[in-house]
Structure 1
Amino acid sequence: MTEKSTALPRSVLLAGATGLVGRALLQQLLDHPSVAHVHVLLRRAAPSIAAHPRLELHVVDFAHLKRLPRVDDVYIALGTTIKTAGSEQAFRQVDHGHVIAIARAAREAGARRLAVVSALGADRDSRVFYNRVKGEMEADAAALGYDEVTFAQPSLLLGDRAALGQPERFGEVWASRLLHPVMPLVPKGVRPIAAHDVAAALIAATMGGRPGVHRLASARMQGASTR
């Protein structure tokens, strides 16, 4: 659950609303007392997203974005895997290219705060391709001129991807199954984390109003939806 806030009503932009964390972000943003309007960017129509009086859907081409609506806050929860994308180049296009394109266009339209779902281990100098791309994305997003930037760096995500029409991710499925009996004994920093906890932590941090660049470690986000 997100905390109540006395801040002025905000208009927000969300990209990635059909994904695991993105869907949790959408619901929590619509429920948040400080959010007046939610603009959602989609690559294609999404009948599974229910109509809401404060929700506006925009079908766009992430690779060729036109001017975006003016908002206060931007949430980006785009992400894929190399297997799903089909190649390292295609993966990079989504997890770096599309993220930066949206963040840049939103900043040009006047957005002041940026919140992005990254990943545990993000490091632009990493020898691991996945971690390196995430790290490069963070560095490039942080340089776009936002007053405030927050990156969520979750461990393996827990949630029902099948219910969202997404392919299950092997690592997430097996980590959940193998670790479930001993989950409380697994260090919080690497323990699989529920998507709704990541969403809640990211919203709380963005609503907190701390200028600068911030990173939310997976351990810090555990249980955020119940705080």
Structure 2
Amino acid sequence: MKALVIGATGATGKDLVKQLLNDKEFDEVDIFVRKPVDIQNDKLKVHVVNFDRPEDWKDMVKGDVVFSCLGTTLKAAGGKDAQKKVDYNYQYEFAKVAKENDVEDYILVSAYGANPTSKIFYSRMKGELEEAVKQLHFTKITIFKPGMLERKDSERTGEVLGSRIIKFANKLGLLESQKPLPTDILAKAMINSSKIKSNGYSSIKLGNIFCFAEKKV
């Protein structure tokens, strides 16, 4: 299989690419990034692109499955409009191009609580993206909604603090349903989902975090 990945330089994306390159069922992994990356592998093709110019890269978006885990923080982006450009616009445009190029399988990392009618900006943005990509009618679409993620060497202060608090609570037998999910486990689940041929709706439990996967044909 040939995998297409956006968000390859993030925590989940790094684990995902590493696992894809080690997976014998994938013979080619194409990643679309904004800056060059220092990864060497015979199966890997790196496309450095400007996501604002899809006309320059749309012909390269051809394969069997898209893994979409692109995202940024409000602080890193510098504002809501800038964050939405990365978290919504870029992902939707890539999905749209993939559909136009007859890619059949689309896998999206969304977020727990994503809802297009939410009063919370982040949750609303994620929910709006989910609804938008559903309307593209891929042959198969899988949407993961993890809760708090455990990222290696995370620089997100709030996330690190929150993870420590929850882990401490877990030791006391509290908040078990909110146990942070390691990104490598999420990546593994994404890859496994790409190998499953099924229709309808299902929910996938990873550790103590529920990731809801909607598959639509």
In which range does the TM-score fall when normalised by the shorter chain?
0.7 to 0.9
Report how far residue 189 of structure 1 moved.
3.9
- Normalised to the residue count of structure 1, the TM-score between the two structures is 0.84
Structure 1 residue 212: Cα displacement = 5.2
RMSD: 1.8
Query: Residue 69 of structure 2 aligns with which residue?
Result: 77
For 2:28, the equivalent position in structure 1 comes to: 37
> What is the aligned counterpart of 2:191 among 194, 197, 203?
203
* Greater relative contact order (Cα < 8 A, sep 6+): 1
Aligned partners of 1:173, 1:206: CA distance in 2, in Å?
Answer: 30
SS at match of 1:203: helix
Q: What is the CA-CA distance between 1:31 and the residue it aligns to?
A: 1.4
Structure 2, unpaired ranges of 5+: 212-217
Residue 170 of structure 2 corresponds to residue 183 of structure 1: yes
Partner residue, 1:173: 160
Q: Which residue of 1 aligns with 2:214?
A: none
CA contact (8 A) 1:152 1:215 kept: no
Give, in angstroms, the shift of residue 213 of structure 1.
Answer: 6.4
The aligned residue for residue 180 of structure 2 is: 192
- Residue 27 of structure 2 aligns to a residue in which SS? strand
Matches within 5 A, 1:1-227: 10-47=1-38, 50-65=39-54, 66-67=57-58, 68-162=60-154, 168-183=155-170, 185-211=173-199, 216=204, 219-220=209-210
Residues in 1 aligned to 2:51 and 2:202: alpha-carbon distance in whole angstroms: 25
Structure-1 separation of matches of 2:27 and 2:6:
17
What is the CA–CA distance in structure 1 between the aligned matches of 2:159 and 2:141, rounded to whole Å?
27
Deviation of the 1:150 alpha carbon: 0.9
**What TM-score does the superposition give when structure 2 sets the normalisation length?**
0.87
Q: Secondary structure at the match of 2:45?
A: strand
Q: Tell me the distance in 2 between the aligned counterparts of 1:197 and 1:82.
A: 25
Q: CA shift at 1:217, angstroms?
A: 6.1
Q: Could you tell which deviates more after superposition, 205-214 or 71-80? A: 205-214
**Where do 5+ consecutive residues of structure 1 fail to align?**
1-9, 163-167, 222-227
1:152-172: CA deviations, max 9, x gaps?
Answer: 11111112245xxxxx11221
